[in-house]
Amino acid sequence: MTSRYSKKRRRCARILFTVLVFLIIAEVVFSHISFGVTAQDNSRKIVSDDFTKNRKKPSGDIPAKSSAAEPANSPTTKSRVRRTYKPTFSSSKSTSRKSPTPAVVQLGITIWKLRPVQQNEPGTRLLVREKGGSTGWVAERVEADATFREGDHVRLSIESARAGYLYVVDRDLLKDGNTGDAMLIYPWTNIADSDNRVWPGKLIDIPAQEDDPNVFTARLTSPNQIGELLTIIISTTPLTLPLSDKPIQISGRGLATWEKQWGVQIERFELEGGAGEAWTKEEQLAATSKGARQLTREDPAPQTLYRIPVTNKKAILVNVRLHYAK
């Protein structure tokens, strides 16, 4: 009896020891997994320097630091420190660590929503051309997922981190997932020599400040429409497209071919704390047709960054959705 009892005790002890070892190993493994997820989430944030490093350094006549008279919390001051972007969207699938990392091109887009100027309010203004004259408005940053109401005034600023040629196609976005006719809205023949070249530090405003009208107005043209779909293309060489002083329709088949060739899985990042910041004088000057001044590394970074793997050396393509509501 004593021998059998001893064997049972030894067997129970072995079982308890095995369970204890398993629990210890499980705790270690899950703690590593937890720390790994946290580290991965933090590492996916990027800093503004990742984009602005391709711009030129400020020249001697452009102050690298804010003046004493400039408020410490002004948009310009805030942009002159390293700021972070948070990931908000990714169409890419997880890949094995052994897979080679493709080269990445960055495209910066800032969507502006306009509001009326308040009495005696300082800051940069956009003069919106309206019947009977012009009215001053304040342009403020919004994130790419913002919803616009019927009648809202909207503008876009586009900056490429590499040199190329910019094209923008607009389509109505419908509830059933379909889109309307594809209209080329940039470039125009009335821009200087039809020059649609882009490079780091050069901003393209759509519509341009000199256009008439110089804003988009959110309009639901049919009960089935929920917004606009803007296809933004940066090509390494000019595309063969007809140009006009008005938007022109382009082939849906041709656009589908471009999307198949150049459309890839992307990541989208939003500037943390950027929504609500007002249009600056530097951004205004960098987007004028005269090109009076270009953005430097010390100037504001775009609100939304798209990171696009380079799979085709000819061009990159990004679809940007503008969401409308009544």
260-292 tens-digit pLDDT: 999 888 999 999 999 999 999 999 999 987 767
Q: What's the pLDDT at 26?
A: 53
Q: Provide the pLDDT for residue 145.
A: 95
Per-residue pLDDT at 85: 97
Quick one: pLDDT at residue 190? Answer: 58
The residues of the chain scoring below 70 in pLDDT are 1-10, 12-13, 16-17, 19-43, 60-80, 92-101, 130-132, 190-194, 291
Q: Which helix (H) or strand (E) holds 53?
A: none
Helix, strand, coil in percent for the chain, rounding step 5? 20, 35, 45
pLDDT tens digits along 121-180: 888 889 887 666 778 899 999 999 999 999 999 999 999 999 999 999 999 999 998 999
The 8-class DSSP code of residue 194 comes to G
pLDDT of residue 310: 85
Q: Return the pLDDT at 8.
A: 63
**Residue 157, CA atoms < 13 Å, CB-side half-sphere:** 29
Whole-number pLDDT of residue 61: 45
For residue 280, which of 251, 303, 246 has the smallest C-alpha distance? 303
Q: Which of 230, 286, 151 is nearest to 137 (CA)?
A: 151
**pLDDT at position 19, please?**
60
- How confident is the model at residue 246, as a pLDDT? 80
